[in-house]
Structure 1
Amino acid sequence: MNKREILKRLLNYLFEDKKGFAIAAVFLLIAAAADVSGPWLIRIFLDDYVSKDHYPAMMLWALAIGYITVTILSGFLHYAYGIRFSRIAVSIVQTIRKKVYASIINQPLSAFDYVPAGKLVSRVTNDTESLKELYVQVVASFLQSLALITAMLTAMYLLSPTLTLVVAILLPSVVLVMYYYQRRSSDPYRESRDLLTDINGVMSESIQGMSLIQLMGQEQRFSERFASLNERHLGAEVRIVKINGIFLRPLIDLLSGIALVSLVAIFGWQGHEVIGVGVLYAFISYLGRVTEPLIELMQRLSLLQQAIMAGERLFELMDAKQHQYGEDDAPIARGDINVSDVNFSYDGTTPVLNNISVSVKEGGFLALVGHTGSGKSTLASLLMGFYPPSSGEIQLGGRPIASLSQNALRNGIALVQQDPHVLPSSFRDNVTLGRNVSDEAVWDALGLVDMADYVRELPNALNTLLGTGDVSLSAGQKQLLALARVLVDKPRILILDEATANIDSGTEERVQQALSALRHTMTIVVIAHRLSTIADADNIMVLHRGHVEEQGTHQVLLAQQGRYWQMYQLQKTRAHLKELEEQARD
């Protein structure tokens, strides 16, 4: 979209609350009429009474009371207009922020593969604030200035068409200056906004990865990177200040001064008999009130530039392609899995999975093993429907995964990730995740993963807050918590992505017993590096660089003495060496 389309789309939000906008407009028009009335009353006082040395008490009191009344009325109505319009503006920003967030969380995971989280958060927070400035400062000031200038010019024309012509010449010149300013300032403002997003993104990512930065001794390099971004941002801001310094106040003041001198010259040429002193006063007063809104509009153009840049980036997020689900909303009734000749690539060029085919019967146990980068987690993501395969087909419960609705897919298949996320909320909320689940079901799920006793010993049991500094879970406990989350709903298919990698052997054995008991109700897919955890799997698929290298049961693969046998022997050797080290320490 070009700038005009972006601005038009932003302004269209104003008319979603037509009643509120109409009320604000009425306040503004009456306020503009009150602003015009003050100098007009003084003009009457000067030309009709002072110049004629005639001072009737009743009329003078009426003029004085009228002047005070319109001044108070103008202030009150401008306040009412500002409050009303600010309320509309804040409501618009909330609407846009909600739409942006809803769009982000419904985008496919591929949209986040190459976007830093800190940069994305910065765009949403900073850009929506820029839009608030657009509505509160720019649009409100523009409408206020437009109403005031229109009222002033109308009053001027009624007083003296000749003097109005002099003032009218000023307006096209100001419009030309504004247009040229907008052209010159567009690129610096875009650069400044992009660099500010980069700065916030680097800051966010650095804080998230602070342990890694300090562990690798990279403080200096990150500081230099941050300083470089700040220097570039400073350069863009300096260019903006220079442009503002030339185009904003000086040029408008120069044009205003020319108009004022012209008014005085015409008054001196034609004389006060033709143009009264009161008319000249009114024109000078109106001229001051006209130029101030023009200067304010020029100053607001910087905010307009920022808002257009912000709107462009927010609309990119709002209009981004959403994750496409099917329309089949029937629950997944069977847990069988069929993967047929599946190929996949994240970027469309580098293959990650090549001709993957595997079948798992309902209640079966499939294990995926292989070295890092072999494609195990990618296959799990495809089974979850996070990414569509480049070619081939995946069926869950005998139905193509592409045909399943979001509700059917998320209720029928669950994934326990290697690094689960813990919410800064209660233990109960971290298990239920907003679902309508009873405490009894929560305790049952915690019991299955051997965490029930631990939670009961906490100060507030299920109401204990996590992530507040009072209770800190270990990596293994986080994985058990994530496993409890999915066991609450008892999905038809359960995928464990190294979900038992960080728990001790005793707890792992109890979890394995729980999973074995659940196998008659769900199909289990396990991604594992520790081969001892998958020895009783119905089928073990060995992946290597995206290809299926071996497939079979534990005993069959050992008998083949291929890659799986090599991995198993290596782990046995490591376990034996560790045992010898422990014996030596004892």
Structure 2
Amino acid sequence: MTSTRLPVADRRDVRRATWRLLSGDRRALTTVLALYCAAAAAGLAGPWIVGRIIDQVESGTTTSTIDVLAATACAFVITQVLFTRAARYAGHRFGERALARLRERFLDDVLDLPVATVEHAGTGDLMTRASSDVATVGNSARDALPEIFLGFVQMVFIAGALFVLDPILGLCALISLPALTLVTRWYLRRARDAYLAEGAANTELAEDLAATAEGARTVEILRMRAGRITGNDERIGAAFATRVRTLWLRSVLFPSIDIAHTLPVAATLLIGGALYLNDQVSLGTVAAATLYLWQLVEPINAVVMWIEALQAGSAAFARIEGVGKVPPATPPSGRVPHGDLLDIDDVHYAYHAGHDVLRGVSLSVRPGERLAIVGPSGAGKSTLGRLLAGIDAPSAGRITIGGVDATDLDATELRRRVALVTQDHHIFLGTLRDNLALAAPDADDARMFTALEAVGATWPADLPAGLDTMLGSGGMQPDASQSQQLALARLVLADPHTLILDEATSMLDPRAARDAERSLAAVLEGRTVIAIAHRLHTAHDADRVAVMENGVVTELGSHDELAAAGGTYASLWRSWHGG
């Protein structure tokens, strides 16, 4: 199964999502904006007062007047510090709340993804979006956006103050603006794609490293170490190249900004000096204008630095929003099944075009029937189970439940009727009760213990904390057979009408597996059970057995009929019993 990348939102969708995120708490946003504006306004007083002091000293004034002006300047500095601190505090709180809403929506989008989409995308793509991308967006929401807004407000206020002070000196502040605009636009045109490429390279690297770590034993057994190391090195090299690309963009932007600081100050001193010598402006005005221009250095630096972070945040946000762009596998038709008859009509399926895994499978499973599907590895048994559970849709043909296509059913309705349990089981971090409640949130303790007993799981009763025992990291670590028993207990609690068991007891020893299957059979009496199994005792106990070979059903009948027919099943049965 090839890995298919999840989509990435375009610029327009990112802008809309950003506005939704920011406008989700408008009262707090208004407070933040007001505090930043107040901080920027308070910062304008210092240079103007210094200019006044210079003019007063030049004209000959009293010490008390200078003291008053100096005290006023100090008061405004303190006021600016207090407003800035309050603004940043409010901005961080606003950013954290916005990030919490983003995480919640992202989780909803992930849970709404079709199972097939998640499997085709691979763990690395979702992992990097849920971890590094969310963290990058958090950095933007918590730090970059407030700092950029404060920087822009300060620049606008300072530019306005310069023009009020003297229009000619105000124009000096704009000398570097054309070059600065060109460089910034050059950077922005390239930055988003560069950071998206960096995110994609990180995804590839994460997937490759995760696959190597998870398959470490297989790598060692098959002597694949050299190949995996080479592949990992290539992924690391690709990720390094994307980071060099973004670093190069920054190396062009930042020096340009440094030059843009110097030119306006030099122009102000030269032109201001000429105006002063011609008695067109006072010395204090030139000094105030120069200080205002030096005040521009910090907000410009902040804006540039955080715009660079904002580009990374925008690219990460586009990847996060892309998860919500995945359409449902098939929109529910709204039709309600009539009964639980499961029909498979001339079904074909291929993971890769032109290479069918299933070829013309036709089968009917009666309500309440126990059907075993057996056959060699690679015959298509598990693929058929996925199609029966509605995880994937057939490439051709139909699978219907009560006359309605499985893929046309609403996900909730489908899960109520059909449940698939495989040999891969996940234990969630939480208590034993939490893990069981996933299948039936309203189940009480008695019902949970009944479900555990039904699958032969007696060990929970011996736990000191019982159902409140923590599982996973920092708690009890269930072994493979215990994890499988929990999965089967969840199945009992979910209580669907049709069960698809894909090697669901493979992690149990043969005796425990038979005991669990007998217990399940007693609990699930009257329900349809489709068991995909290699252990033929499961087939022996079934009402009918379907033998699959090379993607087709080659034999169908009861155990006794097929054993007597002398075909593939009879050979498998003799091999199983050593006959």
1:210 paired residue number: 216
- Cα contact 1:352–1:546 (8 A) shared by 2: yes
Say whether the 8 Å CA contact 1:342–1:357 is kept in structure 2. yes
Residues 333 and 492 of structure 1 are in contact (CA less than 8 Å); yes or no, is this contact kept in structure 2?
no
Letter in 2 for 1:55: T
Percent of paired sites with the same residue = 26
Query: Separation in 1 of the partners of 2:409 and 2:199?
Result: 41
Aligned to 1:449, which of 439, 451, 455?
Answer: 455
Q: Contact 1:326–1:405 at 8 Å: present in 2 too?
A: yes
Residue among 50, 53, 56 paired with 2:60: 53
CA distance in 1, matches of 2:185, 2:549: 61
What is the identity, as a one-letter code, of the residue corresponding to 2:387?
L
Aligned partner of 1:579 in structure 2 is none
TM-score w.r.t. structure 1 length? 0.89
User: Which AA in structure 2 matches 1:107?
Assistant: L
Bigger CA drift: 470-479 or 316-325? 470-479
How far is 1:220 from its partner?
4.6
Cα shift at 1:391: 3.4
Partner of 1:33: 41
Give the letter for the 1:284 counterpart: T
- 1:83 equivalenced with 2:89 (yes/no): yes
Q: Is the alpha carbon distance of 1:347 and 1:181 closer, same or farther for their aligned partners in structure 2, counting shifts above 3 Å?
A: same
Provide Cα deviations, 1:125-165, integer angstroms capped at 9, x if missing partner.
11112212323343222221221111112111111111111
- Provide structure 1 residue ranges, at least 5 long, that are not aligned to the other structure: 577-586
**What amino acid is the match of 2:423?**
Q
Gaps of at least 5 residues in structure 2 are 1-8
Following the alignment from structure 1 to structure 2, what is the Cα–Cα distance between the partners of residues 253 and 156? 21
What letter is aligned with 2:38? I
Residue of structure 1 equivalent to 2:548: 543
- How do residues 358-397 of structure 1 correspond to structure 2 at under 5 angstroms? 358-397=363-402
- Report whether the alignment pairs 1:336 with 2:344: no
The amino acid of 1:423's aligned partner reads F
Which range moves more in the overlay, 120-129 or 216-225? 216-225
Give, in whole Å, the separation in 2 of the partners of 1:218 and 1:402: 39
Give me the TM-score of the superposition, normalised by structure 2. Answer: 0.90
Alignment partner of 1:401 out of 377, 401, 406: 406
Choose the corresponding residue for 2:466, options 437, 461, 482: 461
Aligned pair 1:18/2:37, yes or no? Answer: no
Task: Give distance in 2, aligned partners of 1:148 and 1:467.
Answer: 51
Alpha-carbon distance, 1:214 to partner:
3.9
Return the letter of the residue paired with 1:305.
Q
The worse-fitting range, judged by mean Cα deviation, of 113-122 and 4-13 is 4-13
Cα distance in 1 between the residues matched to 2:520 and 2:10 = 56
> Quick one: structure 1 residues 519 and 134, their matched pair in 2 at CA, closer, same or farther if it must change by over 3 Å?
closer
Q: Deviations over 1:201-239 (max 9, x none)?
A: 333333333333344444454344334433443344344
Task: After TM superposition, list the pairs within 5 Å mapping 1:222-237 onto structure 2.
Answer: 222-237=228-243
Output the CA distance in 1 between the equivalents of 2:371 and 2:93. 57
Partner of 2:3: none
Partner of 1:135: 141
Distance 2:244 2:513 in 1: 60
- Contact 1:252–1:291 (CA<8 Å) still a contact in 2? no
Inter-CA distance 353–183: structure 2 relative to 1 (3 Å threshold): same
Name the amino acid aligned to 1:460.
A
CA deviation after TM superposition for structure 1 residue 186, in Å: 4.8
Q: Provide the rounded CA distance (Å) in 2 between the counterparts of 1:414 and 1:243.
A: 52
Name the residue aligned to 1:322. 328
Identify which of 98, 107, 120 aligns with 1:114: 120
Are the structure 2 counterparts of residues 352 and 242 from structure 1 closer, same or farther at C-alpha, using a change threshold of 3 Å? closer
Matched with 1:583 is: none
CA deviations on 1:400-434 (whole Å, 9 max, x unpaired) are 43453333222222222122222333333333326
- Among residues 484, 493, 496, which one is paired with 1:491 in the alignment? 496
Contact 2:460–2:467 (8 Å) recurs in 1: yes
Deviates more, 1:123-132 or 1:91-100: 91-100
CA distance 1:315–1:348, shift in 2 (3 Å): farther
Worse-superposed segment, 229-238 or 123-132: 229-238
Alpha-carbon contact 2:265-2:294 (below 8 Å) kept: no
What residue is the counterpart of 2:131 in the other structure?
125
Task: Count matched residues.
Answer: 569
Q: Which amino acid aligns with 1:52?
A: S
Where 2:125 maps in the other structure, the secondary structure is helix
> 1:557/1:100 Cα in 2 relative to 1: closer, same or farther (>3 Å)?
same
The alignment status of 1:181 with 2:187, answered yes or no, reads yes
Rounded Cα–Cα distance in structure 1 between residues aligned with 2:206 and 2:407? 38
Q: Which residue of 2 aligns with 1:254?
A: 259
1:336, 1:523 within 8 Å by CA — same for their partners in 2?
Answer: no
* Gap change, CA 1:158 and 1:193, over 3 Å in 2: same
CA RMSD in angstroms, aligned pairs only: 2.7
Q: Give the residue type in structure 1 aligned to 2:91.
A: F
Structure 2 equivalent of residue 419 of structure 1: 424
Give how far 1:265 is off.
Answer: 1.9
